[in-house]
Amino acid sequence: MITSAAFAGKRYAILGLARSGAAAAEALLASGAQVTVWDRQPGPREAFEGRCEIADPLVLNLTGFDGVIVSPGVPLNTHPIAAHAAKYGVPVIGDIELFALARPDLPSHRVVGVTGTNGKSTCVALIHHILIMAGIPSVLGGNIGEPILAQQPLTPNENGEPVYVLELSSYQIDLTFGLDCDAAALTNITPDHLDRYDGFAAYAASKARLFAAQSAQNLAVFGALAEPAGAIFRAEQGRRAEGRAIAADLGALAELQLQWPSLQGPHNLENAAVAIALAEELGVTAAQWRHALPRFRGLPHRMERVCEEDGVLFVNDSKATNTASTAPALAAFMPDAKIHAGTARVHWIVGGLAKEDGLGECADHLGGVAAAYTVGEAGPRFAELLEGAVPNVERCELISEAVRRAREASQPGDVVLFSPACASFDQFRDYEKRGEHFRQLVGVIAEDAVDCSPSSHAGDDAA
C-alpha cells in the first residue's frame, strides 16, 4: 500500500468503509495516523475493531482533526457531514487528496489525471495499455481498478519514470485540492449527475478544478471542445505557455482507426487522440503507440465486442447510461462508418431507468438502426420516440426477450448492440451486472471468448 510520513501523528475521521474508505484507513494506520472510522453497516466496522476508534463523525467534536475522508458517493450538497466539518474548520477530502499528500514520499514518478462525462474509463485504460507495452511501469486507479492507496508504490526502470494513471470523476475532484497532475485531460462534458450540482455550470466547474490545480508548465489535453469544455480549454490556454493546453488532433489519426478493432466510432477516435497526446508527453514514441493500439482489447461493458455468431456481431455497451454515451455507439455503425465491409444493420437494445426524457444526441445517429428493442422502465417511452424514426420497434420488458428477438431477426453482417442509454437500477444493481447478464444471454461468460455457440444460450431470466 501507499504510506507517507506526512500522515504520522495526524488525526483523520473516515465516513464510509467501502473500497476506497477501507484502503484509506489502512494506509493512514500504517503511516502512524490516529484514525476514527464509521460505516452504517456493522460488517465493515468489525475489520477495524481494536485498531482505531469507531464512531460516527457526525456526532464527534472534530476539533484537532486534520480531515474527514468521505467516499465519492457521499452527496456533499445534501449530506450533513459537510456543514458539520465546516463548523470546526476541518476539510472534507477523499482518498485522491491523501494520495496527493503522499506523493513527496513516493519514488520519482508522474501522474496522469483524466476526467470527462463519457470516455474517461476507456481513455485511462488505453493510456495504461500503451505505457505497459512501452515497458513503462504504470497502474490504474481513482474511479477504476483498485483504490490508489491500496496499490504498491511504483519504482522507475530503464524505460523511465513510472506513471500513476487516474480516472477522476467530478465527485472525486470535489474532494481533491492538491493534486498537480503532470498531464491531465478532459474528454468531454455533457449534462449528467445534476442532482449533485446546482446546475450544469456547477458540474462543469467541478471538472475545471482538475486543470486549475495543475502547474502552468504541465500539459492539459482536451478532446471535445463543445461548450462548456471549450471555455475551460481557452482559459487554460490563457494561463499556460504555448503548447501546454492543446486540443487532441483527431484528424491526424482518422486514417489509422480501422486498424484498431476495439476503438471504433467517433468517440473512440477522440479517446485514442487524447490518450496518444498524453502518452507522447510521457515519452512514448509513435512507433510504440502504433504497435499498442491494435492490441487494445477495450473495457468490459464499453463497446465490448462480445462474440460473433453466424456472422452477427454482439456488442455489450452496458456502461452507456445516458443518451450522450449511447450516441457515439450508434454513430460507430452508421452507414458511412466503414467499420465492416458493407453496411451493418443495427438491432439496438435500449432502455432501463432513464436519466432524461428524449433521445438526446441519439436522434442524430439512427441511420443504421434496422430495429429497436425497448426494455425496462423507460422502454415504453423509448418506443414512442422511436416509432416512425426507425423501421421497426419491438416492445420487450426484459433484456432476455430483446436478445431473443434480435437474434431471430438479424442476418449475417448485422450488429446486435446493447447500449441502454439509461441507468440500470430498475432491474440491476449496476451497469456491470446488467452487462454480465447480456453476455450470458448471448452465450459467453469467459472474458476472452471470441465465439458463441447456439447450444450455450442461456434461458430467459426474470430479473
- By annotation, the residues acting in catalysis are 120, 143, 193
CA distances to 39, 48, 79, 92, 106 from 98, in Å = 19, 19, 21, 11, 13
Cβ(449)–Cβ(307) under 8 Å?
A: yes
Which region, left, alpha or beta, applies to residue 385 given φ > 0 means left and ψ of -120 to 50 means alpha?
alpha
Can you tell me the distance from the alpha carbon of 134 to that of 287, in angstroms, rounded to the nearest whole number?
10
β-pair partners for 418? 316, 349
Q: Which residue has the cell 418506443?
A: 383
Q: Are 26 and 95 in contact (CB under 8 A)?
A: no
Degrees, nearest 5: CA angle 54-60-66: 85
Question: Cα separations (Å) of 51 from 6, 26, 42, 357?
Answer: 20, 10, 15, 49
**What sign results for the dihedral spanned by CA atoms 306, 310, 313, 319?**
negative
Give the closest residue to 405 by CA, choosing from 390, 394, 420, 418: 394
Residue type, 61: N
Q: Which three cell numbers stand for residue 288?
A: 510504440
In Å, how far are 226, 327, 329, 371 from 366, measured between CA atoms? 22, 9, 11, 10
In Å, how far are 166, 179, 184, 269, 281 from 244, measured between CA atoms?
A: 20, 18, 11, 21, 10
Which residue type does 319 have?
K
Measured distance CA(333)–CA(76) in Å, rounded: 40
What are the phi and psi torsion angles at 34 (to 5°)?
-90, 125
d(CA 70, CA 172) in angstroms, rounded, equals 10
The CA distance from 408 to 413, in Å, is: 14
Q: Regarding beta strands 304-309 and 369-375, do their DSSP bridges make them parallel or antiparallel, or are they unpaired?
A: unpaired
* DSSP designation for 335: T
